[in-house]
Structures are given as C-alpha cells and as structure tokens.
A and B are shown apart, each in its own frame.
Chain A
Amino acid sequence: MAAPLPDVQLATPTPPPLPSLINARQLRAQRMGRALRLWVPAGILIILLAICFLLPLVTTLPSATRGNIIYNNEPPFSQGHLLGTDVQGVDIFSQLVYGGQVAFEISLAVTAIGIAIGGTLGVVAGYASGWVDALVSRILDILIAFPALVLALVIAQGLGPSEFHLILALSVFGIPAVGRIARGATLVIRGLPYITAAELAGTRRWRIIARHIVPNIVPGIVTFSLLGIGVVIILEGALDFLGYGIQAPQPSWGNMIANGQQILSAQPEYVLIPSIALLITVAALNMLGDALRERWGVQ
C-alpha cells in the first residue's frame, strides 16, 4: 500500500520573493497588455455569438438552405448578399451564421456534458481514491482510448448522421478529457491541509466536495473547457467535411468547406470564408483560455 510520501519540513519557509522592479510605466503597460489579452478575444467571441444567435432574431436573413440558381456565384457585397452566394445560389453569410449556430450548439453541449459527467466522475475519483478512483480512472482511460473521429463515423454509419448523434459521439471524447483534468485538480487540492482541516471540523464529504474542492478547481476546468470548445468545433467541422456530420442542405462550416473544395482553384473564397471563421473562433477561444489561466493562476 503506497501512502503519500512524508513531507520534507523546512525549519522556516523560504523567504518572500524580492519585490518586482518594474517601474510605473512598465507596470501600466503590463496591465494594459493583460487586459487586452483578456477582453479582445472575449469581445470577439461575444460578437460572434451575437451574430450567430441574435442577428437572425433581429433581421431576416436569406435562406441558408435554398438558393436561386440564377443568382449563383455572386461576389461579396452584392445586393442582398453580404458575402455573396455559392455555386447553388445559397447565401454565404446566412450559411456562416447558421453554421456557426450549429458549431456553438454542438460544442457547448458536448462541453456541458463533459463537465457534468466527466467533471463529476473526476472529482469523485480524485476525492475518494482507493478502488473508486481505480475504477473510474479505468473507465475514463477506456473512453479516451476511442479515437473521437472514428467513433463518430461509426455512430453516424450505424444510427444515421444527425446533430444529436454528433453530440453523443463527441461526448465520448469530452467526458474523459474533462474527467482527467478534474481528477488531477482534485488530487492536488485533496492533499492540502485545509481539506484535512475540514474533515477534522466534521464537515460531511459531499459538503467538502461542494464547498471546498469544486470552487478551487473551477478555474482549471473553465480554462480547459474553453480550449476544449475549440477542439470540438474543429472536430465537428471535420466530421461535417467528411460527410458524417451535419448533412446538406443544412449549413455548417465543414459542409461549406467541402462544397467549396471542388472549385477551390476557381473560387477560393468558398473555402476561405468558413475557414477564416473557424480560425477566428478557435483562436479567440484559445486566447481567452490563456488569458483566464494567466489571471487565475492555474497551472
């Protein structure tokens, strides 16, 4: 039985670090940089979400599924079509907006499931240790061993492609991903004296988890999940691109890229536009995750 290693006790702790020597101007610049790194990506994401979810409520957009073949291949900024139309006359901007809806819906759903199920499993495993931990860890390991894309393909084949099945398949990836992070963060906190102090104070286990452990692992889980959302968006886009995700004529960024792929040399913008949308979204998510990690001091 391996118990935790005994601590090496220092007679007195290390002295406090020497104060920083940056002068006031540099300090202001640092602060501004930190704020920008946080609010610029956050702003971008807010704008993206607003465009995808609020804009259709406010104005009527052209259909994203049917188009008038007469008006195909319109260039951007033409009358009535902000970004033009594609080969079949479907408005590109609308496709972007509704495709974005799908992307966010799926990724947020997968992440929510991941946090709910994976997070719970991870915290329980990390806190309980012993055979519970061993069992849950094996389950998570098995889940994470499934290659997400292949699994999604299989499910799509078997059950038919749909948004719901996509979410299911990608959750198999999301749950263990969050689960491991949650377990790791819980293990770190578990070893801290204030958890033992809470146990000594008589606090029940569930309350310890809820009020001591969870608040202290939330920063880690949030920053990880932001990156995770980006990953899921890309995975979902890949699946759509391969034809195993959202099926045409329902729009999605992956579908747009697939459609535009055929005439890439002639009209590269059909591939470029959704690709840039993907890029901006995932980059903003990553930057926001990094900035939050910096602010909250998560390792």
Chain B
Amino acid sequence: MSPSLDTTAPTDNTGGAPEDGKKPLLAARDLVQEFTVREAGGVKGGVVQAVSGVSFDIMPGESLGIVGETGSGKSTLARAVLQAPRPMAGSVHFRGQDLTKLHGRGLLSARQHMQFVWQDPFGSLNPKWKVRSIVEEPLIAYHAGDRVRRRKRVEELLDLVGLDPARYAKRHPRELSGGQAQRVAIARAVALEPSLLICDEAVSSLDVLIQAQVLNLFERLRGELGLSYLFIAHDLALVKQVSDRVAVMYLGKFCEVGPGEAVYKTPLHPYTKALLDSIPSTEPGAARATATLRGEPPSPINPPSGCRFRTRCPRAADKCAQEVPQPRELAPGHLVACHFPLTEEPAADSAAAVPAQTEVPKAPSTAQVKG
C-alpha cells in the first residue's frame, strides 16, 4: 500500500510534484538509520542517528542529487534505500513494492531494477575475476539467457560504456585505470537494465578529465536506457550538473530540496547558502569563496536540539533551539526546513546567534606573537 504522495501536505518533505498523476519510481518515507559507536580513548560512545527521518520521491526518468558533507549521512541514506543494511524505521517503495518488508528471493527480485555504483572503483570489483566474469555475474544470477547470449550481452555492455571488449574483457581489475574500472562497474550495474541507478560518490576518486568522461557516460546512459538516478556527492556543482532536483543534507536531515537551478539561484536555507559561498569558482569575475560558516560540525552523537544547523547558523534564534523546523514549500517544488529561510527576514534575536560551543576568537594581535 503506497502512502499518500500528495506533496502539498505540510509534513511531506518530498519536494517533487507527481506529473499527470504518475507514480514515483522510488518513494522513501521517514527513513531512520542508527549506529552505535563504541567509546574509544576519550571520545564518548553512543548512538549516532545518521539518518533522521528523511523522505523523498524520484519520478521515472528523473535524477535526484543529494549533496552533503562529512557526517551528513548521505551514504548511509543510500545504503538504507538499498536495504544493505535495512533502515531501522521508515519505508522504501520501489516500483510499487515496499522493500523494507521483503526478504530473501522477494527482495532479490524487487531489487533487480535498482543498482549501485560505489566510490571506490577497485573495491567494487573482485580482484581475482576477469572483467568479463564481473559483468556477466548479474546475467548468470538472473538466468538471462544461455552462455552464448550472455557473452554477447557482455560485449554489448562493454561497448556501451566505451570499453573495447577485445582489449578489456579478459583483463583483471588491477590492469585497469580508475576510470576504466569504474566503467566496468557501471557496465555491470546496467546489465539487468535497471530503472534506478544509485551513485555514491561514483566519480569522486577520479581525476578531473576522467571524471568528465564518466559523467558524460552517465548522461548518455540516462538518455539511451531511460535511467533514473540517485546521485550522491559532496560537490554541489557536480550534483547540480547531473540532477534535475537537488537535496541538501545536514546531520541526517534534508535542509532543502528543489530544482537544481532554483536551489542555486535562490537558496532558501542558510546552510545551502554557506555551501554555495564556499565553493571556489573559476568563472571570470566571480566573487572569491568565503567561509560564512563558523565553528565546527557538532557531534553526531549529540546533535543540537531543534534545528541541527543552529550552532553554526548566522540567523539562529531562540525558536531554532526549541522547535525542529518542518519542511515547507516556499516555491513550486522547492522545500526548505528552516524557521527563518533566506527569503524572509531574520529573527529579531538572531544577530547574537546562539552558539553551542565557545565563540571563535578573533586573531590575536601580532604583538603577542613571539617571533
């Protein structure tokens, strides 16, 4: 039973309007994922809620990008969608079925149409297998044709990702470069013609020029195979490049979700603005990147009360410590979870923002510095 997908509901942080009553390909609701961290040498242990109630939709053919920094929980979110491991709470409806309620063969067949590309191209390939076997594996598992047909399909797939089968099929991963290994991983991922491809920092470990090649490959596959993407990265420009909609994540929650251009041109959440400001740009005449974010990220074991971003937010006020902000749709398809989004006036008591930790001191005068 799919939950109501009416995005005008105030508590529904989905950020996507179903077009023409089309159902979403993927509907995630209130996902929660936790870890226990053991105490180690002075650092307290405790429970980290890496994902704290995240909901979103992905329409068929759409690309959703999730951008977040270290500790935002974005990779954990990706794995929770995948059920590896299962989220502690929440539901993931994929092609109509709730993956959180499926097990064994049911889960396997439902998940066939959802594939994953990892950050480390070499970690995701068995070092002892040949490229040919790696790409063939999903075809064998799902009994897709006999040996001859499978081999042919492997060649097609390698061609599709730009690797000449004659030269690469018999190689081992250690004989490949990072970009080539990632292409093999992509070939394997699309072997079963999935509907959704989840890419977790899939290009972050590649050199700039190779990265561009692989991004173009993603775009081409999107067109040729009609893929939807869930693209996760820490680089906002990268995420915006490949996505229709962008979600900004901080400490386990979405701050802002909206169309890429809107999030870039009119950011509603102070964190989004801080991210945008920090990005150094090579455009001529662009303002120099500034650090508008103060302080250090808070401990994920003990997140701040109310809005988790308030300890670093220049607009934080008392209300931010008391109430958790709920997502609101301030523009078509553009949601933000903030009491004082950037389109509105800051709170009266926010000029003296409430810091959780001590103030950042000003630089000591040079007279004090011993030379």
In the complex, identify which listed stretch (B4-12, B31-39, B158-166, B352-360) lies at the interface while the others stay far away.
Answer: B31-39
* In the assembled complex, B308 has its CB within 8 A of some CB on chain A: no
* In the assembled complex, B125 has its CB within 8 A of some CB on chain A: yes
- Residues in chain B near residue A194, CB distance under 8 A: 123-126
In the complex, identify which listed stretch (B92-100, B112-120, B215-223, B341-349) lies at the interface while the others stay far away.
Answer: B112-120
- Residues in chain B near residue A215, CB distance under 8 A: 128
**Does the CB pair A197–B48 fall under 8 Å?**
no
**Does the CB pair B84–A196 fall under 8 Å?**
yes
CB distance from A241 to the nearest CB of B (A): 43
CB distance from B144 to the nearest CB of A (A): 10
Q: B36: which of A2, A12, A192, A197 is its contact (CB, 8 Å)?
A: A2
- Residues in chain A near residue B37, CB distance under 8 A: 5
**Does the CB pair A3–B85 fall under 8 Å?**
yes
**Does the CB pair A1–B36 fall under 8 Å?**
yes
**Does the CB pair B76–A6 fall under 8 Å?**
yes
* In the assembled complex, A26 has its CB within 8 A of some CB on chain B: no
* In the assembled complex, A203 has its CB within 8 A of some CB on chain B: yes
* In the assembled complex, A30 has its CB within 8 A of some CB on chain B: no
**Does the CB pair A13–B120 fall under 8 Å?**
yes
The answer for the CA separation of A7 and B50 in the assembled complex, in Å, is 11
Q: Mark B116-138, 1 if CB is under 8 A from A, else 0.
A: 10111001111110000000011
* In the assembled complex, B212 has its CB within 8 A of some CB on chain A: no
Known: A3-B36, A193-B120, A193-B124. A200 touches B82 (CB 8 A): yes
Q: Which of B262-307 contact A (CB under 8 A)?
A: none
Tally of contact residues, B, Cβ under 8 A: 42
* In the assembled complex, A11 has its CB within 8 A of some CB on chain B: yes
**Does the CB pair A9–B36 fall under 8 Å?**
no
* In the assembled complex, A25 has its CB within 8 A of some CB on chain B: no
* In the assembled complex, A212 has its CB within 8 A of some CB on chain B: yes
**Does the CB pair B75–A198 fall under 8 Å?**
no
The answer for the CA separation of A3 and B38 in the assembled complex, in Å, is 11
Q: A198: which of B36, B48, B50, B137 is its contact (CB, 8 Å)?
A: B137
- Residues in chain A near residue B125, CB distance under 8 A: 194, 197
Q: B141: which of A1, A202, A216 is its contact (CB, 8 Å)?
A: A202
The answer for the CA separation of A199 and B75 in the assembled complex, in Å, is 18
**Does the CB pair A12–B204 fall under 8 Å?**
yes
* In the assembled complex, B108 has its CB within 8 A of some CB on chain A: yes
- Indicate the member of A11, A193, A196, A215 with the most B CB atoms within 10 Å: A193
Q: Which of B175-208 contact A (CB under 8 A)?
A: 185, 188, 191-192, 201, 204-205
The answer for the CA separation of A199 and B70 in the assembled complex, in Å, is 27
The answer for the CA separation of A9 and B232 in the assembled complex, in Å, is 12
Residue of A with least CB distance to B114: A200
Residue of A with least CB distance to B126: A194
Q: Mark A199-228, 1 if CB is under 8 A from B, else 0.
A: 111111001000010011000000000000
Q: Which of B218-239 contact A (CB under 8 A)?
A: 234
**Does the CB pair B82–A193 fall under 8 Å?**
no
- Residues in chain B near residue A24, CB distance under 8 A: none
* In the assembled complex, B111 has its CB within 8 A of some CB on chain A: yes
* In the assembled complex, A8 has its CB within 8 A of some CB on chain B: yes
Q: A6: which of B48, B192, B204 is its contact (CB, 8 Å)?
A: B48
Q: A201: which of B50, B123, B137 is its contact (CB, 8 Å)?
A: B137
Known: A6-B35, A194-B124. A200 touches B119 (CB 8 A): no
**Does the CB pair B70–A202 fall under 8 Å?**
no
Known: A6-B75, A6-B76, A204-B141. A216 touches B118 (CB 8 A): no
Known: A5-B37, A6-B76, A13-B205. A192 touches B123 (CB 8 A): yes
**Does the CB pair A196–B36 fall under 8 Å?**
no
Residue of A with least CB distance to B86: A3
- Residues in chain A near residue B70, CB distance under 8 A: 8-9
**Does the CB pair A9–B108 fall under 8 Å?**
no
**Does the CB pair A197–B141 fall under 8 Å?**
no
**Does the CB pair A200–B111 fall under 8 Å?**
yes
- Residues in chain B near residue A193, CB distance under 8 A: 118, 120, 123-124
Residue of A with least CB distance to B74: A9
**Does the CB pair A202–B108 fall under 8 Å?**
yes
The answer for the CA separation of A212 and B137 in the assembled complex, in Å, is 11
Q: A197: which of B35, B111, B112, B118 is its contact (CB, 8 Å)?
A: B118
- Residues in chain A near residue B111, CB distance under 8 A: 200, 202
The answer for the CA separation of A31 and B227 in the assembled complex, in Å, is 50
Q: Mark A148-167, 1 if CB is under 8 A from B, else 0.
A: 00000000000000000000
- Residues in chain B near residue A201, CB distance under 8 A: 137-138, 141, 188, 191-192
CB distance from B48 to the nearest CB of A (A): 7
CB distance from B315 to the nearest CB of A (A): 28
Residue of A with least CB distance to B300: A6
The answer for the CA separation of A7 and B73 in the assembled complex, in Å, is 10
The answer for the CA separation of A198 and B114 in the assembled complex, in Å, is 13
Question: A-B pairs with the 6 shortest C-beta distances?
Answer: A202-B141, A201-B138, A193-B124, A193-B123, A193-B118, A203-B141
Name 24 interchain pairs, CB-CB below 8 A, sorted by A.
A2-B35, A3-B34, A3-B36, A3-B85, A4-B35, A9-B70, A9-B75, A9-B204, A11-B234, A13-B120, A13-B205, A194-B123, A194-B125, A194-B126, A196-B124, A197-B188, A198-B126, A200-B82, A200-B116, A201-B137, A201-B192, A202-B112, A216-B126, A216-B128
Known: A1-B36, A203-B140, A204-B141. 20 other contacts (CB 8 A): A2-B36, A3-B85, A4-B35, A5-B35, A6-B48, A6-B50, A6-B73, A11-B234, A12-B204, A13-B120, A13-B205, A194-B124, A197-B185, A198-B126, A199-B84, A201-B188, A202-B108, A202-B192, A203-B138, A203-B141
